[in-house]
Amino acid sequence: MVKICCIGAGYVGGPTMAVIALKCPSIEVAVVDISVPRINAWNSYQLPIYEPGLDAVVKQCRGKNLFFSTDVEKHVREADIVFVSVNTPTKTRGLGAGKAADLTYWESAARMIADVSKSDKIVVEKSTVPVKTAEAIEKILTHNSKGIKFQILSNPEFLAEGTAIQDLFNPDRVLIGGRETPEGNKAVQALKDVYAHWVPEDRILTTNLWSAELSKLAANAFLAQRISSVNAMSALCEATGADVTQVSYAVSKDTRIGPKFLNASVGFGGSCFQKDILNLVYICECNGLPEVAEYWKQVIKINDYQKNRFANRVVSSMFNTVSNKKIAILGFAFKKDTGDTRETPAIDVCKGLLGDKARLSIFDPQVTVDQIQRDLTMKKFDWDHSLHLQPMSPTTVKQVTCVWDAYEATKDAHGICILTEWDEFKNLDFKRIYDNMQKPAFVFDGRNIVNVDQLREIGFIVYSIGKPLDA
């Protein structure tokens, strides 16, 4: 029986390995992590992450061919293929701080693999890493192992949170990069055999190591760039009376452009887009390509601009002050169908409003009070001296209440900010909400999910990103 071990039981390691276990009953899969609470949660009924469809997959395989454990060394030692899916955040200090990827967790995993291995292994980069990381990992492994042979593969993950299970069941492509040597080709084939259990052959792409590593950064940069492009356009729409939804639709009809990822919003979030673009910027700078670095930086600058623009719009619309006004925040996660708040635009918007002394009442169906308190008080790394990066003091955070219902959040509020596109927010009884709010009642839709005309009919003053403003 082939044995797989995955180091890192996070948003990627957990779902990816659960799907491999489901699709490959003949493979034993162990997901290991140094975090005891995380592993305990994976072994309980309350999984550590919310992801539609994940519970059912885990329930089907856990205890049969899928195991979650903190015994990292044992499972690594026994495995034929070791995936490494640890976090690779942006460095916060030292050389490259604010841009370069922090590979501390990766390096420590690689040293441990070399240390405990007693048989040859394939080591798979599942984490998103800078191009050429495999070269460094090879050095660490070969200089520390005792005659054991390691083949390094790059197999970046393209799943999106919120649709992870769907994406893993039916991926657009699986990318495997390896050394172009007989041993490298053999390792690539071994990993292809795993995915071939359910992924059609023409969707499994093989490349050299560096192309695979760079493709992941490139894919995220392109996706984020699309969002920044439409968001930049949304500002121009507001200034001219054009409607960004109509513009996006017209643009999307060009088959060279297509319809996906063209929704204007308060900005992108999540743990990956900003981090991976900063990483790309750093790599360009290190390779003597400052103009290319500058080009990608603009994607993040527009994103910061959009978040600040939204917060400023709220304040300016409400007669230039939100001091002591109650603002309902509907949605805190960085997108719908996840409880993940890493780099969510809600943090910047909330900080902007708290900075003007608003009282916030926050509701998100999947985000806990603790997460919100932590996110608002955490220091964020200032990559470009942007606004709103200061952590909120505990006193300021007292201006925040977290509630479990949108109607509770909006009761007696002066304004509503919709910051996550949860489906349930589309079907709220806005008449009831309007009746229970202070007047004039404002709605600021950061995701363009409400029916603007209907809300205006009820009596709301509505601002929706990139749409013509209220007369």
Residues engaged in binding ligand NAD (CB under 6 A):
7-13, 32-35, 38, 72, 85-88, 105, 108-109, 127-128, 157, 159, 161, 271-272
Which position has the token pair 């393209």?
158
Pick the closer one to ligand NAD by CB: 141 or 443.
141
Helix (H) or strand (E) holding 44: none
β-strand partners of 176: 206
Judge whether 167 and 158 are in contact, CB under 8 Å.
Answer: yes
Shortest CB 367 distance to ligand NAD, Å = 15
* Phi and psi torsions of 27, nearest 5°: -110, 135
Q: Under DSSP, is residue 83 helix (H, G, I), strand (E, B) or coil?
A: strand
> Shortest gap between Cβ of 11 and ligand NAD (angstroms)?
4
Q: Which is nearer to ligand NAD, 20 or 409 (CB)?
A: 20
Query: How far apart are the C-alpha atoms of 44 and 211, rounded to whole Å?
Result: 39
The nearer residue to ligand NAD, 12 or 441, going by C-beta atoms, is 12
* Contact residues for 324 (Cβ-Cβ < 8 A; gap 6+): 357, 358, 359
Residue 89's Cα: distance from chain center in Å? Answer: 12
Peptide bond preceding 391: is omega within 30 degrees of 0, i.e. cis? no
Our CB check for ligand NAD shows the closer of 157 and 238 to be 157
CA torsion through residues 158, 347, 48, 97, sign: positive
Q: 30 or 272, CB closer to ligand NAD? A: 272
For 138, the token pair is 């090879």
Nearest to 359 by CA among 391, 385, 395, 332: 395
CB of 109 to ligand NAD, least distance (A): 4
How many other C-beta atoms are found inside a 10 Å radius of the C-beta of residue 175? 22
Nearer to ligand NAD, 223 or 441 (CB): 223
Return the number of the residue (160 or 397) whose C-beta is nearest ligand NAD.
160
- Give the largest Cα separation in the chain, rounded: 75
Cβ-based nearer residue to ligand NAD, 10 or 352: 10
CB of 156 to ligand NAD, least distance (A): 7
Q: How far is the CB of 105 from ligand NAD (least distance, A)?
A: 4
Give the closest residue to 360 by CA, choosing from 329, 389, 335, 383. 329
Helix, strand and coil in the chain, % to nearest 5 = 45, 15, 40
CB of 117 to ligand NAD, least distance (A): 15
β-partners of residue 150 are 121
Q: How many residues are there in the chain?
A: 471
- Residue 95 has a CB neighbour count (10 Å cut-off) of 7
Q: Is 24 a catalytic residue?
A: no
DSSP notation for 125-136:
E-S---TTHHHH
Q: From CA 326, how far away is CA 434, in angstroms rounded?
A: 14
* Shortest distance (Å) from residue 128 CB to ligand NAD: 4
**CB of 265 within 8 A of CB of 231?**
yes
Residue of 237, 272, 284, 417 marked active site: 272
Q: How far is the CB of 397 from ligand NAD (least distance, A)?
A: 24
Strands of the sheet with 174-178, listed across from one edge: 66-69, 27-32, 2-7, 81-84, 121-125, 150-154, 174-178, 204-208
Question: Judged by CB, which is closer to ligand NAD: 175, or 362?
Answer: 175
Supply φ then ψ for residue 335, to 5 degrees: -160, 175
- Shortest Cβ 80–ligand NAD spacing (Å): 19
Query: So which residues are the catalytic ones?
Result: 272
